[in-house]
Amino acid sequence: MSRILTAAVAAGAVVALAAPARAQSDSDWGRNYSQDSSFKWNGSIAAGGTIHVIDLNGGVQVDASDNGTTTVTAVKRWRHSDPATVHIVAEPGSNGMTICAIWGDATTCDSHEHEGNHGLHNNDVSVHFTVHVAKGVKVDMSTVNGSIDVRGATVAVDAHTVNGHIEIATLGGPVTAESVNGGVRATIDQLVNSNEPLELVTVNGSVELAAPAQLNAALDAETVNGGVQTDFPITVSSFKARTRIHGTIGQGGRELRLHTVNGSISIRKL
């Protein structure tokens, strides 16, 4: 969970900046907020490539593209702050595209520069990204204050936030999803033949996985304040009341890691 904890530490530097975003729901966006929806990127990313989106204040929504093109649009919303203090950068890479929203003077999506550039306190600008992802393109989304909703992915999904829920639906997986304050839910219609782990982690919130009946995994499910429920038969290697189960589902294999502190864990059979 190191990546999300790093983001949580970074978020501590922007408490004043982030507070308006946390209080702002989708239904509030039409109330006395100005907006700019001029950013749009579209292009072809080869199957196996990745679309990365990095945000700070605002949510990310992903849907399936209806053609072979991946498209990213962004909407800035603000009430009092100068929207010019936030700019959106698109950086092509050798295996995909990275698009980020940057608060301040940085000019690249470099992780250290981006995560450390949180000097604008009381900035109420938020950026909401919408991604239409082509078939076969991997999804990697992160934000600090905002939820992530992924629909229509066909391969691997990575999603990370600090304050917000994560909900993922993918045809193939694998999935890694981490939050601190928010529930995490993933539905995987058909697991690809891979040893890559499935990981759903939060601190404050429930964790739910819906997977095919032929799921094979080495299960590591733990909560502190909550329970663990599963539709799958498990060969148990370690068990503690209703709060911890280590064991094998089906024939074992890939690691299935489901962790929370305050919340329940559910493994449902599709």
Q: Are 100 and 88 in contact (CB under 8 A)?
A: yes
**Mean pLDDT in the chain?**
86
Q: What is the pLDDT of residue 118?
A: 53
Residue 174 makes CB contacts below 8 A (sequence gap 6+) with 156, 157, 188, 191, 192, 194, 196, 197, 198, 254
Distance from chain centroid for Cα 76:
19
What is the Cβ-side half-sphere exposure of residue 239, based on CA atoms within 13 angstroms? 10
Task: Please state, as a whole number, how many other Cβ atoms lie within 10 Å of the Cβ of residue 225.
Answer: 11
pLDDT digits (tens, 9 = 90+) for 36-78: 999 999 999 999 999 999 999 999 999 999 999 999 999 999 9
pLDDT digits (tens, 9 = 90+) for 149-177: 999 999 999 999 999 999 999 998 899 99
Mean of the pLDDT values across residues 111-140?
79
Q: What is the pLDDT of residue 20?
A: 39
Token pair, residue 40, equals: 């749009």
Task: Please state, as a whole number, how many other Cβ atoms lie within 10 Å of the Cβ of residue 86.
Answer: 23
Q: What is the pTM of this model?
A: 0.87
Token pair, residue 174, equals: 């694998």
Predicted confidence (pLDDT) at residue 122 exceeds the cutoff of 60 = yes
Q: Are 55 and 100 in contact (CB under 8 A)?
A: yes
pLDDT band at 209 (very low <50, low <70, confident <90, very high): very high
pLDDT band at 10 (very low <50, low <70, confident <90, very high): very low
